[in-house]
Amino acid sequence: MSVISATYIISQSLPSLFDTGWELTQSSENSIVYRSTTNAYEEFRVIIEATKITVSVPMPNSEVLYTTVLDTPEEACDYIRNHIDHMRTHLEDSKMDDSDDE
């Protein structure tokens, strides 16, 4: 698959995942970056090359990104989706814990 095809597939899939609280800060032929609107250290980076797709995701309570290499645009989108779902679940759980303290 070409870089342009992979970029197209990923760029069409990601906007539905990054609804509230995220902004597209970079979109080029081979890279896409979404950054949190509330925390500049939280961002998702996707770098597309001819033979691999490098995905970086934010680590909880940290200023570092975890990076992994995937083979297909579908794998990259699934990986990001799973990470976002985990982040949302963690956020909801921490809100419920806070309300229990009241």
98 burial type by CB count under 10 A (0-12 exposed, 13-18 middle, 19+ buried): exposed
Give the residue-averaged pLDDT of 76-100: 78
Q: Write down the pLDDT at residue 62.
A: 85
Give the residue-averaged pLDDT of 61-74: 93
67 burial type by CB count under 10 A (0-12 exposed, 13-18 middle, 19+ buried): exposed
pTM confidence score: 0.84
Rounded-to-integer distance, Cα 7 and Cα 29, Å: 7
Query: How high does pLDDT run on average in the chain?
Result: 87
Give the residue-averaged pLDDT of 74-92: 88
Q: Where are the domains of the chain?
A: 3-100
